[in-house]
Amino acid sequence: MLTPGGKRLNISMTNCGEVGWVSDDKGYRYQAEDPTSGRKWPNMPNAFKTLGQSAAQAARFEGFCPNACLINHYQAGQKLSAHQDKNEPDLSQPVVSVSLGMSATFLIHGNSRNNRAQKIQLHDGDVMVWGRSARLMYHGVETKQSQPHPTLGFHRFNVTLRQV
Ligand SMILES: O=C(O)CCC(=O)C(=O)O
Ligand SMILES: [Mn+2]
């Protein structure tokens, strides 16, 4: 995808669910069609939805009903720069994030993208839920060519479940 400024995003992205997150010269938004094919995004597998719901419930969020799933693909060395997730209309609902494959460093900058980041290592199978006072935190991701994952090698997939 392209950034609103016309640059190519570092990582590749796709979606499943009723709506998917897209970026192009018109900005960031959720939409029902894949801009590459013009077709609806594939259905969200039930297992994704129930994983999102049980993770949100474990973090004491009520009534989370994810209908959007963004899938990011990172190769070793690729990054996602500091940003906020704020295109979802109801910010009282969390973001549930599932990490698969190669490990990555999640950078939490807090209220400003210029703050020094707190770093959290995310490994295959980790599930993170962020909401409430952390919902609008600036965050980013870094990957390195360190340890390959046994089956996915130097590839990382991050699946985020959101209510839009
Ligand atoms: O890859 C991750 O762990 C986070 C991805 C992310 O921040 C996003 O998709 O908005
Ligand atoms: Mn994000």
List the chain pLDDT tens, one digit each, 164 residues. Answer: 999 999 999 899 999 999 999 999 999 999 999 999 999 999 999 999 999 999 999 999 999 999 999 999 999 999 999 999 999 999 999 999 999 999 999 999 999 999 999 999 999 999 999 999 999 999 999 999 989 999 999 999 999 999 99
Do the beta carbons of residue 151 and residue 94 sit within 8 Å? no
The continuous run of DSSP H or E covering 97 comes out as strand 95-101
Question: Residues lining ligand 2 (ion), CB within 5 A?
Answer: 85
Is the pTM above the cut of 0.95? yes
Residues in contact with ligand 1 by the CB-under-6-Å rule are: 70, 72, 80, 85, 97, 99, 106, 122, 139, 141, 158, 160
Q: How far apart are CA 34 and CA 30, in angstroms?
A: 10
Cα 88 from Cα 95, distance rounded (Å): 10
- What pLDDT does residue 61 have? 98
Ligand nearest to the backbone CA of 135: 2
| Domains and their CATH numbers in the chain | 45-162 (2.60.120.590)
Residue 146 has a pLDDT of 85
